[in-house]
Structure 1
């Protein structure tokens, strides 16, 4: 009993010291961007594919068109309209050194929308991104600045909301600013991971990664089935953990991740802020294979040589644990959300001698070439070349590749480059020589990822006259395919309809069988008109514009859609409006 009380006292001390470090931005007071209660579906710093989530996602009752308000006085400093990413976004610069960002909007306020439309027509592009001077659109705290939506890379109506340090353009955790969010739920801990960090390391007498499922022992305290782990040699740690917030079933990211070794802080990170140049380094601080293969968010303690993240507050011995004695050592994980709700896991580790019946593995020697993280790397074989630039890898890599026969529709062998579970910070370049192709069709070739041959993923590339050169962001299975099929264009109205008098807009479904849509341009009576593109719905929409289109007369529409291999489809029709 005395030992239990002592353990709880130790944990309470570190919990309070951790919570005391939170909220250092709270001297700045903002109001909520929504007038309803704030319910969050995603938190700041949440682990996403190849990036950290740079804001919070605020629910909008599952609907489009909720009013969005400026959180402080300032002026609109930037407007962005994109078919992916943030979709329609407004940036408001405030005099206190911060910029607030409101994303996935369905529409802007009328004055801003008219200004944006002028820009789009001037640039002949739906996609625009431009800065604004301080005096053009001033806003007051609480002023309407837009309406919530589902534009861009959003798969349900919500507001993606960010606060950035204006000078650095660095996203800051919005929940550091005392927005009224109810959160009484502590993070959940699912599994403990131990990783060998040498060829001789054994964990519970086995080589390789060790995964131990946890269970909840009492309120916010987790344990593993056997609290004593036997190790031989150096190892690192990982933890699968997620947070939950009142009013949401969404799995969110944690704020604070702390590891104690024999009651002393061994590893500590917090999600206060980061820069966009850092965000892809998320791949170096997680178990990338667990994320890609199982969608598990496992934060690791090891700091790889090419990990440039600034989220770490303390790291000992590069996150690697190594014992030179045979004593029993205690390890504690203390996981907190930004509101101070905390969960804990503790266990014990003892260093043991290696069993004489086991020999060190030599499988790591089976590789084609050693690729170094801090230098340029090259490899070539039989019509294939590869270049991995310095700082593309997080650590030195024992590189492997296999060559498989061509697929029925491919124009080269299939190249199994390393494996899909090795992360990259930057793109690498490949040159692939086709086995054959119809004369004059080299420009129609493209590189495709074919881990699922029935659903290839296009990666493009450039035909140089002899080979296809392309930049790839992931390792995997690649081959050359060809796209000679033009995009499809189908009207979302009766094609025989010629009188559009009662229509406010017209829509088309556009698609492509492989390379993907590259451009779309509509012309009425020979003049460019604005079509809005929603890739996730394969829709383009033209809204009849009385300012630019004369009414009560015959018109001619020409719609041109081109894919990324310059295959063109033209749709034309005459109509009355």
Structure 2
């Protein structure tokens, strides 16, 4: 029996050592940098964005395109995607160890990848493709050039977008757990926001509090008077790496009240399915004004990977009581900043003065909001927080020539965590489009479909909507031949460019489309061009199938 116990201990010790050694190997596994030279970031993992949390790193390229992009580890090309928006030209490489790396906004691929891409584009007669390439056996060694950096897709300037994903789950992983960048200072704190709530749980307003750096990156906000009841806090903060002026997001944030942790956010892993949950940890309205404020409260926050809170992260403040609040911010290199202040309870919060015909929408219920022949259906869990809503149909001035009908739900725009179905009954002119009515009369068209007896659209925000008719075809401007590139500019008034087709001498021809610059161009080296005169026909359609056709002769020497 003693001998059996001895062998069991030896076996367990061996297994323990094996597990520890494998963990050490996993933790010490490093990747090459995807660009040559000292890495500088213009964006980091988990940054707050309009519709999502940033899923990778943005490497600066000095405002240049065409820098060699490096395979960071031995691997096989698993997928290629070409799009006029999003990541533009993107390459996905699968590696041993269960990770896939992604390289976006590329200007072009190396020849053996480009050959496969062109073959697929011509077979499908489409510039935009999204193709699985696992069976193509495109293998690259660590250090090989796989593509060249660019500014394709929705990129707002030349850079390389780089991601590490867990292959099985497709979760995005923080690349700075696989490679490092120089960062010697903790995050910057710009200010603290204090949120108070009515008895019904509706946000009664945000108050910005200045903080002072008292040394060693300890910021103090003093005593802050608040109504007794639930209080939420947020912090306007960012981070910088060495030798770069670009503002980066915060990696780790913890909030404590009277020494008890009530909130934590740690950016190590993201799920693309959870993109709308970005609006649970950012102040949506401050973000629209250009201020990045991280919220440390909300009933839906714990649904987001890396976020957790206790009792919704709300701080209960009693009348005449004092609560010590500490916010700790870290970057991935362990540099630390701290914010200290006190919440002092005064009079109790007042109840809401709810207008006639309005109601408080809560997060846990579904709603069918109607007025006239309009309706909007909300699923349970669609709201990030309670909102006052008053459905009504009203008229607004369109311009000096007349008015438009508006379906109004809320005076401000509020984010939704789930898409809502917007519909209207009645007969509408052909090519009618639902639009979100933004500030200063700006319109954001929604993808609208015809249903029996009306229109329907999907929306990700709660606000005011109107219907416009898009009868104007896209505009095509031919800018001529530059070098050996044939170029056009294409514009659309409302519903946007939905598709285009270029034929040369009666055959489909590959033309690339840069949506942000409205640039459509193709090369005279494409095989459908011949010496002498070539007949080129361009057909462009918008979102409601208005069509524009342009024909010209192109001469090739």
When the two structures are superposed, what TM-score results if normalisation uses the length of structure 1? 0.86
Asked whether 1:254 is paired with 2:233, we answer no
Whether 1:322 and 2:316 are equivalent positions in the alignment is: yes
**Who is 2:501 aligned against?**
521
Following the alignment from structure 1 to structure 2, what is the Cα–Cα distance between the partners of residues 109 and 212? Answer: 52
Does residue 210 of structure 2 align to residue 213 of structure 1? Answer: yes
Q: Please report how far the alpha carbon of residue 489 of structure 1 lies from its aligned counterpart in structure 2 after TM superposition.
A: 0.9
- For 1:226-285, what per-residue CA distance to the aligned partner results, in whole angstroms no more than 9, with x for missing partners? 336455122222111111122222211000101122333332221111110112201012
Q: For residue 176 of structure 1, what is the aligned residue in structure 2?
A: 177
**1:382 equivalent in alignment to 2:372:** yes
SS of 1:554's equivalent? strand
Q: State how far apart, in whole Å, the 2-side matches of 1:240 and 1:384 are.
A: 39
The change in CA–CA distance for 1:94 and 1:266 in structure 2 (over 3 A counts) is same
Matched residue, 2:391: 401
Per the TM alignment, residue 549 of structure 1 is displaced from its structure 2 partner at its CA by 2.5
1:7 alignment partner in structure 2: none
Q: Is residue 541 of structure 1 aligned with residue 531 of structure 2?
A: no
2:549 pairs with 1:570: yes
Shift of 1:410: 8.0
Matched length = 531
1:525-576 CA distance string (max 9 Å, x none):
1111111101111111111235x23632432111111111211111112333
Task: Report the Cα offset of residue 332 of structure 1.
Answer: 1.0
Q: 1:478 aligns with which of 451, 458, 465?
A: 465
Helix, strand or coil for the counterpart of 1:485? coil
Q: 1:282 aligns with which of 264, 278, 293?
A: 278
1:158 aligns with 2:148: no
For 1:276 and 1:414, the matched residues in 2 are separated by 33
Distance, in Å, in 2 between the alignment partners of 1:486 and 1:209 is 45
1:18 aligns to what?
none
Q: 1:198 to 1:93 in 2, by over 3 A?
A: same
* Number of the residue aligned with 1:8: none
* CA distance in structure 2 between the aligned counterparts of 1:465 and 1:167, rounded to whole angstroms: 42
**Contact 1:201 / 1:233 at 8 angstroms: preserved in 2?**
no
Alignment correspondent of 2:117? 116
The aligned residue for residue 457 of structure 1 is: 444
Name the counterpart of 1:103: 104
Q: Quick one: which of 416, 419, 422 aligns to 1:427?
A: 419
Moved more, 477-486 or 388-397: 388-397
RMSD: 2.7
Distance in 2 between residues matched to 1:524 and 1:258, nearest whole Å: 60
Give the aligned partner of residue 328 of structure 2. 334
Cα distance, 1:471 vs structure 2:
1.3
- Aligned 8 A contact 1:76 1:134 in 2: no
More off after superposition, 326-335 vs 64-73: 326-335
Unmatched runs of 5 consecutive residues or more in structure 2:
1-23
The separation in 2 between residues aligned to 1:39 and 1:369, in whole angstroms, is 50
Q: CA deviation at 1:187?
A: 0.8
| Preserved CA contact (<8 Å) 2:408 2:463 | yes
* CA distance, structure 1, for counterparts of residue 201 and residue 477 of structure 2: 61
Deviates more, 1:48-57 or 1:245-254: 245-254
**Aligned residue among 475, 478, 485 for 1:505:** 485
Q: Which residue, out of 339, 346, 352, partners 2:340?
A: 346
Q: Which residue of 1 aligns with 2:187?
A: 187
1:240 and 2:236 matched:
yes
- 1:52-201 counterparts in 2 under 5 A? 52-133=53-134, 136-179=137-180, 181-199=181-199
Is this contact kept in 2: 1:51–1:279, CA < 8 A? Answer: yes
Would you say the 8 A contact 1:76–1:132 is kept in 2? yes
Find the partner of 1:555 among 513, 526, 534: 534
After TM superposition, give the deviation of residue 375 of structure 1 in Å: 4.1
1:13 alignment counterpart: none
**Aligned in 2, Cα 1:28/1:411: closer, same or farther, shift over 3 Å?**
farther
Residue equivalent to 1:17 = none
Distance in 1 separating the partners of 2:118 and 2:519: 19
Higher strand share: 2
Go from structure 1 to structure 2 and tell me whether the alpha carbon gap of 1:329 and 1:420 turns closer, same or farther (over 3 Å shift).
closer
2:310 corresponds to 1:310: no
Any idea what the Cα deviations from partners look like across 1:177-223, whole Å, max 9, x if unmatched?
233x11123211122122224429999xxx74332111211131111
CA distance in 2, matches of 1:304, 1:454: 33
Classify 1:364/1:241 alpha carbon distance in 2 versus 1 (closer, same or farther; 3 Å): farther
The CA distance in 2 between the partners of 1:395 and 1:24, in whole Å, is: 43
CA distance in 1, matches of 2:189, 2:276: 24
Q: Is the contact made by 1:51 and 1:280 (CA closer than 8 Å) also made in structure 2?
A: yes
The answer to whether the 8 A contact 1:378-1:387 is kept is yes
Deviating more after overlay: 78-87 vs 557-566 = 557-566
Q: Is the contact between residue 524 and residue 558 of structure 1 (CA under 8 Å) also seen in structure 2? A: yes
CA–CA distance in structure 1, aligned partners of residues 333 and 229 of structure 2: 38
Q: CA deviation at 1:387?
A: 1.2
Question: Quick one: structure 1 residues 201 and 573, their matched pair in 2 at CA, closer, same or farther if it must change by over 3 Å?
Answer: closer
**Is the 8 Å Cα contact of residues 500 and 539 (structure 2) preserved in structure 1?**
yes
CA distance in 1, matches of 2:341, 2:301: 30
Query: In 1, distance between residues paired with 2:241 and 2:356?
Result: 47
For 1:417 and 1:237, locate their aligned partners in 2 and report how far apart those are by CA, in whole Å: 27
Deviations 1:11-36 (A, max 9, x none): xxxxxxxxxxxx99642211111111
Cα distance in structure 2, aligned partners of 1:380 and 1:157: 46
The two structures have a TM-score, normalised by structure 2, of: 0.89
Q: What SS is found at the alignment partner of 2:303?
A: coil
1:6: which partner in 2? none
Mark the CA change 1:237 to 1:24 in structure 2 (over 3 Å): closer, same or farther. farther
Q: Please give the alpha-carbon distance, in whole angstroms, between the structure 1 residues aligned to 2:544 and 2:380.
A: 31
Q: Post-superposition shift, 1:171? A: 0.6
In 2, the alpha carbon distance for the partners of 1:232 and 1:278 equals: 34
1:444–1:484 Cα contact (<8 Å) kept: yes
SS of the equivalent of 2:214 reads strand
Q: Which residue of 1 aligns with 2:21?
A: none
Contact 2:198 2:350 in 1 (8 A): no
Indicate how the Cα distance of structure 1 residues 24 and 319 shifts in structure 2: closer, same or farther if over 3 A, else same. farther
Q: Distance in 2 between matches of 1:476 and 1:369?
A: 15
